[in-house]
Amino acid sequence: MHLKSSIIVKESLQDVISFFYHPSSLAQWDRSVAEMIPHPQNNDSMGAKFDTIAPSGMKMTYEVIDLSPDGSSVKILLTESKMFKKAIWHFEFDPELAGTKVTCHIYFALRPLYYFLYPVLLINKNALLRDLKLFQLALENFKKTSAS
């Protein structure tokens, strides 16, 4: 299954990229993440790994599998999950006259125990857009607090 959503934020490409790659940002806008934990000896490049802990306590492990030199495109593979058989998140950040266009693609297949979620995800495609709107709000708050 493939889900895609985009939003234009009123911030510069560099500000969006800086916020996105900040370790604490994911839990501020992704409602399925309560905490993000970088693996030791991690860096902001290909092969970097991290875990997320969901509000329910479910843990998932990810790896950066593709990263553009300027950070404007990143693909993140889900490597360990009870729910997903396979999943890749692809984020793209493109400069626009009004700011930066943030696009998120999610390509995934659920494990058989979670097949019941396919219709829910198809019906609720707007959930991804809600997360991107939360991204926008979290980015604005991040800029305010780092400016002070």
What are 45-78's pLDDT values in tens digits? Answer: 778 899 999 999 999 999 999 999 999 999 999 9
Q: What are all long-range contacts of 137-145, with beta carbons under 8 Å and residues at least 24 apart? A: 137/29, 138/19, 138/25, 138/28, 138/29, 139/9, 139/11, 139/15, 139/16, 139/19, 139/29, 140/11, 141/28, 142/19, 142/22, 142/25, 142/28, 143/11, 143/15, 143/19
| Residue 148 domain-assigned (yes or no) | no
Q: What is the CATH number of the domain that holds 50?
A: 3.30.530.20
Q: Cα separation of 110 and 85, whole Å?
A: 5
| Residue 84 domain-assigned (yes or no) | yes
How many domains does one find in the chain? Answer: 1
| Residue 125 domain-assigned (yes or no) | yes
Q: Please determine, for residue 147, whether its predicted confidence score (pLDDT) is greater than 70.
A: no
Average pLDDT over residues 100-117: 92
Q: Which domain holds residue 87?
A: 2-143
pLDDT tens-digit series, residues 115-130? 888 787 776 667 888 9
Amino acid at 140: E
